[in-house]
Structure 1
Amino acid sequence: MKNWEFTKIVDNKIHIGRWLSAVMGLVEGGYIYSSLFKYPDKGPKRYELILSMYPQENFRTLTHVDVYMEDVPGATVQSAKFLAEQGINILNSVSLNGISETTIIWNIMCELNFAGEGEIIKERFGKLKAAGDPSVAKIKYISIKPANVGRIFRNEESEGQVKEQVRHGSPITFHSEAFDLNIEYGDILNDVNGEEVMITVDPYSWLVSVVFFKKDTKLVRINIDIPDCPGSINTALQLLADEKVNLISIFSKIMISYQTMSLEVVADMKHSGKTIDELRKALDLYLSEQNGMFKLINISPLG
């Protein structure tokens, strides 16, 4: 599943769209909580805006609960009853059929009261299940683990960058499938109108990340058809690395199994020293010299 997309800021609003809104639980007229982070000079990011359905102060108690239950009538009701009896406050959730199984998987974001409560609940379930208690007869297994949503507020990133939380915004009403930057961040994000931003979703944690890039960033979208075989992605991207093109996002998908794949890349080419036309010619030549079906489909600027 592709979990990112690029969109343009219009009227200083982030238009998220109906499908993504539904996937992430953003409800028209509902509240969105947000936090804005600033990144250092190194790297292409300037700001990152985190959007959530939950207040920041609740992040410590957010917990993932996955309930595996029989695909039979009444299983979901029994699961909901068991969770309610444990005092679990269900927030966002989604259920789906296990592929090729007779199992329903209910993925839940919920609130627990204190650290360690999850282990107590699992122990209670285990005792009831071992005793053959009919109250859990349709439930196969329960997994409970911390959501760790608070990780986004760590200053240190995996690549060693230090980010700074600039502001924790007040809740904003989600209106016309858009988040209005003017309300909480108009004094800071006052020069982003018309810019391309990257929206990334974390469906499991119900979070949306919006990345604003530095002014000197030269974003390009590159589409390449490649063979469906080991090493083809490495081969296709090697020239970009040699030309100091910084990859920001990659998406690959099968076109014809064991024959062809499509590769979509968004990258920053400000350090490459080449124009888009020069990079296009270099890629065309480089890909034509490789073994197998490598073909540049498109390269175009973003923004």
Structure 2
Amino acid sequence: MHTVSADQTTFAFRPDAEPALGVRPGEIVRFATSSEPIERVFAAGADWVQAIDTCAINAITGPIFIEGVMPGDAVSVEVLAIDPLDWAWNAAIPGFGLLDGLMSEPLLERLPIRAGEVIVSERVRIPLRPMIGCLGLAPAQGETSTLSPAMPWAGNYDLTQIAPGATILFSAQVPGGLFSLGDLHAAMGEHEATFVAIECAGTATVRLDVRPGLTLEAPRIETADRVYVIALDQCGDYGAARLQAARLLFELLTREVGLTPREAYILISARGDLTLGGPAGTIVVGSVPFLTTGSRSRFDR
């Protein structure tokens, strides 16, 4: 197993970034993520709101060069483990989130993690449900933000499904893919309504592999139960993102699984889900029960 330290940190996905490591397909990498950006904010004391630099707050570790990956291939990222440190943090930041203005004053707080729980108070303890907020590959040119907007090859998706047991697929834009990850969460509700999760640093262990010739319009998540497509609209139109998510599911079922249009339509009617993704972009996630190619399939999950 390879390890990448939190010293290998950046704040954008870039095609010209120097790889922190090169690996062969199928190898396992443990990424350590940095708490240094939020430590700087805590160190500012009462002036912490002014100390937030949105261009240097959402750190990622990497990138990793994966041998043999070329544009037009898909990189698969199997999440094996996420291990937070023994503390996390939460904040009510003026101007952010759906509860903005409802708090009497800004909030920035460290939260201890003990025995698998985030300790909020004596009566509120939150079970750990760790996930990766930001991950992906380098763009073909320019750079992609680690905050917003999310793009088809990388971004701050903030999806609870990106957790141990899931495999995420991205379409490579450059040789080697150049994969990075960061923004670990100890727990988060769907859509990250406050724009802040129970944020943490720690380690994430993943297996990096390649699916040659699989070109994806949008990222995909595979779990034991369901397959998810991540639809993105760069114009801020949730209606367009919903249409894209439904179309991506239909095309997956008909082109890759081999269902007839009639079968796919009825399956999506019965078992297709559309949900909002994270707030750092116009993200809609579509999903259907996980299925395999073949003449017969059951959809009872």
- TM-score, normalised to structure 1's length? 0.25
| Structure having the higher Rg | 1
Higher helix share: 1
